[in-house]
Copies of this chain bind each other. A is one copy, B any other.
Amino acid sequence: MATLKDVARLAGVSVKTVSNVVNGYSFVKPDNRRRVEEALEATGYRPNLGARNLRRGRTGFIALVLPELSIPYFAELAGLVIAAAQEHEWNVLIEQTFGTLSGERSALASLGPHLVDAAILSPEALEVEDFQLSVPAVILGEHAVDVPISRVGIDNVAASKAAVRHLISLGRTRIAAIGAHPQRGTAALRLEGYRAALAEADLPFVPSLVVPALNYHRADGAAAMKALLDLREPPDAVFCFNDLLAIGAMRAAAERFVRVPSDLAVVGFDNNEESVYSSPSLTSIAPDKAAIARRAVDLLHRQVGSGPGREDVETPFSLQVRESTVAR
């Protein structure tokens, strides 16, 4: 692999001149510039990023810390973050935590300033004392504990309220919720929105209709739904805290011959691509994922260099109404 020195020797100039050309600096004598460019071409020179970054004191990477890529929401988000990072010449390093405290801690621990310039976090279990980051960071979605770190995401309370209001507008009165979780900040907020919408419509809050979920996978949604259907008075609607839970819930309903939406209306959260093609298709809260990714990366880019500084960005969402609440 050709180095700057090789190119310099071939062009008959100093490394400085070559470096100037490569980086588009200052004025290089046209004659030298031409010679250098020819040498660059001839050697197929490619800068050694490691060396450059060592010198510049930056790494050229940002970390994206998330539970798992096999969860569609995070996979879609990761794709968008990679695209957004590219615009700032950043490469993205993905770390999976599997939503465990130890996984999240070890991901954070590996985030030395030597490895990444900044980090995007989707924590689920971290505690306040864990947030001693050595690089600028931004949290996606809310977190249970209040930490002095920037945040990008939608208004979870408002979004959940919109989802439940929609169910109420359909005339449903026994509306269940799946996905309560003691640790997760977003779960608490979504529950809050759920309760607010019920209160607003003078519907009673029935604790037995709120089912917790330790994980937010399809299997958890199915299990929760089965429990709800076993109730003496089963719900006529259910608000699931993510689409995966909703997909699982619909599956469980189908297995019990409960019809969606006539017997049971279902709303999800995340608007996964999968939900557009399920049968029935799933009504869901659709956060603007592209906006989340772009704003998070931009925010980080601004923060690198200018020090920490907390900033909260609210991104838009919409309610996508589909067959799981309104038959076609």
Residues of B within 8 A of A68 (CB): 79
Across the interface, do B277 and A279 meet the contact criterion of CB distance under 8 Å? no
Which of B49, B54, B78, B248 is within 8 Å of A48, CB to CB?
Answer: B54
Across the interface, do A82 and B69 meet the contact criterion of CB distance under 8 Å? yes
The interface size of chain A toward B, counting residues with CB under 8 Å, comes to 45
Q: Can you name 17 A-B residue pairings with CB atoms under 8 Å?
A: A46-B114, A47-B114, A48-B114, A51-B54, A68-B79, A69-B75, A69-B76, A70-B72, A70-B76, A75-B78, A78-B94, A91-B115, A218-B276, A247-B274, A248-B277, A250-B279, A254-B279
Contact of A79 with B70 at beta-carbon distance under 8 Å, contacts A47-B114, A277-B248 already known: yes
The complex places the Cα of A70 from the Cα of B92 at a distance, in Å, of 16
Check: A19 CB closer than 8 A to any chain B CB. Answer: no
Across the interface, do A78 and B83 meet the contact criterion of CB distance under 8 Å? no
Give the copy number. Answer: 2
Check: A314 CB closer than 8 A to any chain B CB. Answer: no
Check: A20 CB closer than 8 A to any chain B CB. Answer: no
The complex places the Cα of A96 from the Cα of B83 at a distance, in Å, of 8
The complex places the Cα of A109 from the Cα of B306 at a distance, in Å, of 32
Across the interface, do A113 and B1 meet the contact criterion of CB distance under 8 Å? yes
Check: A100 CB closer than 8 A to any chain B CB. Answer: no
Which of B76, B112, B277 is within 8 Å of A222, CB to CB?
Answer: B277
Check: A320 CB closer than 8 A to any chain B CB. Answer: no
Residues of B within 8 A of A54 (CB): 48, 50-51, 54
Across the interface, do B279 and A278 meet the contact criterion of CB distance under 8 Å? yes
Residues of B within 8 A of A134 (CB): 1
Q: Which A212-250 residues sit within 8 Å CB-CB of chain B? A: 218, 222, 247-248, 250
Across the interface, do A93 and B92 meet the contact criterion of CB distance under 8 Å? yes
Check: A38 CB closer than 8 A to any chain B CB. Answer: no
Check: A143 CB closer than 8 A to any chain B CB. Answer: no
Give per-residue flags for A57-83: 1 if the beta carbon is below 8 A from chain B beta carbons, else 0: 001000000001110100110110011
Contact of A251 with B279 at beta-carbon distance under 8 Å, contacts A94-B94, A114-B47 already known: yes
Check: A53 CB closer than 8 A to any chain B CB. Answer: yes
The complex places the Cα of A247 from the Cα of B274 at a distance, in Å, of 9
Across the interface, do B79 and A96 meet the contact criterion of CB distance under 8 Å? yes
Across the interface, do A273 and B218 meet the contact criterion of CB distance under 8 Å? yes
